[in-house]
């Protein structure tokens, strides 16, 4: 089914984290529909069942034991993974000054350390078989920072660096690493977009926070179709080579990424702040 460099595999095995919702769910369904042997993990999967996202197994990517148990059970189902897709992620919205350290750590533990744990569980098997494809879920926020998504932005920037380093290390073993950078998609799962617990209406950031996060929510509600992203990833896996990065976003979001690369940092910051109405007078930032 999948033509890797040196061998053709009849039954390509895919492990996917965060497959109970949003892009992970859409991606798992797309792989399953295309005939791959899929093992899907998420905290809300309580038992091993054969579903439209493949076999579901409980998985908490922040817990070493849970990751190890997932890997053991997934290995016993289909053997070593050929493709690892790491979608599990959370977002805590808030100003840095008012995040609790627990919130910052929770985001990092899920979005960055969670992907590292999963890679460590799958990599020895991929290396032994001499091939594998690792798909790390970054974001547009892995390329540029957006206020009030600071913890998330930091975690996704970590994924970008992790992906580059991992790719260099594992390429000699026939393993390809790709960072996926989605723009806004309609995931419909507000429960994963928590507001920082300490943020109050009396906060000096509150008005700017409300405006910026209102625009973020609007953009996500009117974002791209998760199923199309899933289908695109399946198609990419049928290609001989993977790019190091793929940005799957609307034209204006890809333009923003391009401008971020080209423009002086302060100029880009000003444009972004205008878009998000982040520096209106009442935000307490009269002059910049």
Ligand X SMILES: NC(=O)c1ccc[n+]([C@@H]2O[C@H](COP(=O)([O-])OP(=O)(O)OC[C@H]3O[C@@H](n4cnc5c(N)ncnc54)[C@H](OP(=O)(O)O)[C@@H]3O)[C@@H](O)[C@H]2O)c1
Q: 16: alpha, beta or left, given left = phi > 0 and alpha = psi -120 to 50?
A: beta
Is the Cβ–Cβ distance between 137 and 159 less than 8 Å? yes
CA distance 60 to 49: 17
Q: Which is nearer to ligand X, 88 or 273 (CB)?
A: 88
Contact flag: residue 189 with ligand X (CB under 6 A): yes
The active-site residue, picked from 36, 156, 167, 276, is: 156
Task: Choose, by CB under 6 A, the member of 12, 170, 187, 213 that binds ligand X.
Answer: 187
The active-site residue, picked from 40, 138, 155, 167, is: 138
Name the residue with tokens 């991992």.
166
Minimum distance of ligand X from residue 111's CB (angstroms)? 6
Contact positions with ligand X (CB under 6 A) in 207-246: 220, 223
Task: Choose, by CB under 6 A, the member of 82, 125, 185, 245 that binds ligand X.
Answer: 185
Nearest to residue 119, comparing CAs of 174, 167, 78, 77? 167
What phi and psi, each to the nearest 5 degrees, are found at residue 85? -120, 120
Query: In the annotation, is 224 catalytic?
Result: no
Contact positions with ligand X (CB under 6 A) in 118-137: 137
Task: Choose, by CB under 6 A, the member of 12, 56, 129, 139 that binds ligand X.
Answer: 139
Which stretches within the chain are classed as H helix? 22-33, 64-78, 101-108, 114-129, 150-170, 206-221, 226-237, 251-262, 265-275
Q: CB count, 10 Å around CB of 217?
A: 14
37-42 sheet: strands from edge to edge: 49-51, 54-58, 37-42, 13-17, 83-86, 132-137, 175-182, 245-248
Contact positions with ligand X (CB under 6 A) in 29-68: 42-44, 59-62
Nearest to residue 56, comparing CAs of 64, 46, 65? 46
Task: Choose, by CB under 6 A, the member of 13, 14, 23, 237 that binds ligand X.
Answer: 23
Is the C-alpha dihedral spanning 39, 45, 191, 53 positive or negative?
A: positive
Query: In the annotation, is 206 catalytic?
Result: no
Residues in the chain: 288
Minimum distance of ligand X from residue 133's CB (angstroms)? 17
Minimum distance of ligand X from residue 200's CB (angstroms)? 25
Task: Choose, by CB under 6 A, the member of 20, 231, 253, 283 that binds ligand X.
Answer: 20
Nearest to residue 89, comparing CAs of 152, 181, 160? 152
Query: In the annotation, is 20 catalytic?
Result: yes
Contact positions with ligand X (CB under 6 A) in 74-113: 87-90, 110
Query: In the annotation, is 152 catalytic?
Result: yes
Task: Choose, by CB under 6 A, the member of 12, 21, 167, 253 that binds ligand X.
Answer: 21
Contact flag: residue 17 with ligand X (CB under 6 A): yes
The active-site residue, picked from 152, 155, 205, 224, is: 152
Size of the site for ligand X (CB under 6 A): 29
Binding region for ligand X (CB under 6 A) out of 5-13, 117-125, 184-192, 278-286:
184-192
Question: What residues line the site for ligand X (CB under 6 A)?
Answer: 17-18, 20-24, 42-44, 59-62, 87-90, 110, 137, 139, 182, 184-185, 187, 189, 192, 220, 223
As annotated, the active-site residues are 20, 138, 152, 156
């Amino acid at each position: 089914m999948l033509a890797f460099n040196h061998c053709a595999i009849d039954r390509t095995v895919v492990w996917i984290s965060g497959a109970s919702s949003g892009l992970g769910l859409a991606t798992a369904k797309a792989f399953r529909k295309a005939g791959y042997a899929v093992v899907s993990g998420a905290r809300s999967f309580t038992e091993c069942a054969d579903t439209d996202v493949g076999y579901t197994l409980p998985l908490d990517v922040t817990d070493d034991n849970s990751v190890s148990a997932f890997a053991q059970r997934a290995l016993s189902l289909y053997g070593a993974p050929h493709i690892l897709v790491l979608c599990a992620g959370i977002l805590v919205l808030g100003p840095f000054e008012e995040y609790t350290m627990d919130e910052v750590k929770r985001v990092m533990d899920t979005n960055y350390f969670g992907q590292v744990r999963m890679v460590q569980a799958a990599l020895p098997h991929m290396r032994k078989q001499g091939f594998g494809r690792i798909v790390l879920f970054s974001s547009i926020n892995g390329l540029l920072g957006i206020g009030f998504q600071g913890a998330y932005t930091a975690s996704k920037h970590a994924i970008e660096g992790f992906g580059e380093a991992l790719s260099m290390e594992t390429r000699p073993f026939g393993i390809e690493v790709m960072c996926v950078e989605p723009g806004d998609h309609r995931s419909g799962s507000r429960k994963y977009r928590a507001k920082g617990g300490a943020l109050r209406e009396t906060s000096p950031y509150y008005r700017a926070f409300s405006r910026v996060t209102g625009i973020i929510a609007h953009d996500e509600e009117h974002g791209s179709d998760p199923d199309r992203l899933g289908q695109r990833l399946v198609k990419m896996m049928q290609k001989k080579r993977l790019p190091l990065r793929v940005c799957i976003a609307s034209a204006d979001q890809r333009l923003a990424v391009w401008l971020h690369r080209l423009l002086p940092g302060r100029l880009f910051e000003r444009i972004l702040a205008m878009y998000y109405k982040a520096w209106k007078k009442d935000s307490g930032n009269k002059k910049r």
